[in-house]
Structure 1
């Protein structure tokens, strides 16, 4: 029972200047995700928004699932990155502290998409401990909790997805360079309370096992779309 639709994932955290948030949401749903899901190898895209009070740099979480991580350096995808639409240029120029990482899915279980998702971000010069934790039985314990629908572990690959593209130029135009993560754990659930509780319990367990304290952020899913949805409307 796998939760993600492939073994590659592109994860993004960030914000957008307040006066362009409505435009951002419409762009991401109406243009950006359908455009990406039309690229061969892309399987599912999603966007979540954090509760009020979350720092602007983590207000939005965007993720694309793909057949494998190499999809994110494929020729069709790079062609899109180097030919942004006018709408894309405008929105990317309004990004705040973008974080973008190509990841390999190292563990996952799940049953569909939850209405709430929590992310745990890790930074480490050596991910050996995180790999060992991801290979342990943590995911079974999380999946056994009431209200939880899925959990996954992603290892960031700094060798992929950092090419100087046209989109990257617009995304970094406010002076904030793209950040990356070394590892991420995701937890999905029915509602806010069980998802948040599971995430904080997992954070404590991961820190005890690895000595690394993650940044935990909660998101309400706003939009989920698959390549099948895009093909059906083409």
Structure 2
């Protein structure tokens, strides 16, 4: 069964060699450039990744562009900033390939120096608590490393194109009766500064987008 890895990318030139160089055999990377100005797209292409340009800014816009480009049976999503090790992808994919789960998320386990500030961890905790209470989804982390069937995910019809995309994926999957689980993955020090959780303002913006999705879907 084929696997493709969707990597939303905005100015991640410093991290891409490490990330793409650690991609497991058989896992084909799709780097979705979301308006980089540091040459990320050209470097990703030089390193052998398929590169997709998504001019419309937004995390969800980049993720969905990658999803629509992919053709593999299974798709993975992960950040392109080196905060997650691609060599852990097979552990996330394994329950899907074995037929034990339909959507698997990597639960982030902080490593020394990991780039996950307190305000971002708090926002994540609040959202996952609401997810458990309002939608009955037993997750402890809305992790950015995840895996599922490509065709089934396309069929869910995700509409958010901002920071609510990861939450909408989980909520629509739960509504569709998917088996959702998580596995532990090491969370490392990222390269460069986060465009979202690196600032309080960015975290609040992401939480606001996700709360909007929660209000709409978790009823």
TM-score, L = length of structure 2: 0.28
TM-score, L = length of structure 1: 0.27
Higher strand share: 1
Q: Which has the higher contact order (CA 8 A, sep 6+)?
A: 1
